[in-house]
Amino acid sequence: MSGLILVYTGNGKGKTTASLGLCMRALGHNQSVGFLQFMKGSKNYGEVKLASVLPNFTLVQSGQESFVSYENPDPIDIQMAQDGLKLAQRWLEEDKFDLVVLDELLVAVAFKLISVDQVLDLIKKRPLHLNLVLTGRYAAPEIMEIADTITEMTEQRHAYHRGVEAKAGMEF
């Protein structure tokens, strides 16, 4: 059976959360999952804390704890994104997962830390049975063109804009 390419994009909350839900379903079917977070380095996310106790679930972060500047990204941000991409390539070459999530990869592309061509090459070289999820705002049209499923999260209202701060279990 052929694997799918899913894109979770848009300005609303829920892209990472949706991909984690898909991970739970895969794990429930005894599948192996690789979850690679670009541009994220905080160990405070619930999924990071949970990863060490979930069998068949590998989570790796490839980013700093601080925000990346769109206008002037730090060279370390570019290097970390490229290192993350190399890890993703290795995961796909080793064919060790049934599902791979590349969380915030689409933002890394928009911030020019990774090129669209690099992502298209990665997708082209993936094992055909692999389900691949790409998340993040600003999905490039070239990536959306080859996706099997695209879900766009649209913000209607966000508690953060009403003065509510993120809290444990509701990382937003």
pTM given for the model: 0.94
- Does a structural domain hold residue 109? yes
Structural domain that includes position 47: 5-156
Predicted pLDDT of residue 91: 98
- Does a structural domain hold residue 169? no
User: Could you give phi then psi for residue 58, rounded to 5 degrees?
Assistant: -115, 125
Helix (H, G, I), strand (E, B) or coil at 61: strand
- Does a structural domain hold residue 62? yes
CATH number, domain with residue 25: 3.40.50.300
If we measure between CA atoms, which residue out of 48, 172, 37, 45 comes closest to residue 105? 37
* Total number of domains constituting the chain: 1
- Does a structural domain hold residue 165? no
- Does a structural domain hold residue 21? yes
- Does a structural domain hold residue 161? no
Q: Would you state the structure tokens that stand for residue 139, as one six-digit string?
A: 């999905």
pLDDT, tens digit only, all 172 positions of the chain: 799 999 999 999 999 999 999 999 999 999 999 999 999 999 999 999 999 999 999 999 999 999 999 999 999 999 999 999 999 999 999 999 999 999 999 999 999 999 999 999 999 999 999 999 999 999 999 999 999 999 999 998 988 778 888 778 776 5
- Does a structural domain hold residue 22? yes
Q: How many CA atoms lie within 13 A of 11 on its CB side?
A: 4
Outline where the chain has alpha helix (H): 15-28, 46-51, 75-94, 105-110, 116-124, 141-146
- Does a structural domain hold residue 120? yes
Predicted pLDDT of residue 72: 94
Helix (H, G, I), strand (E, B) or coil at 170: strand
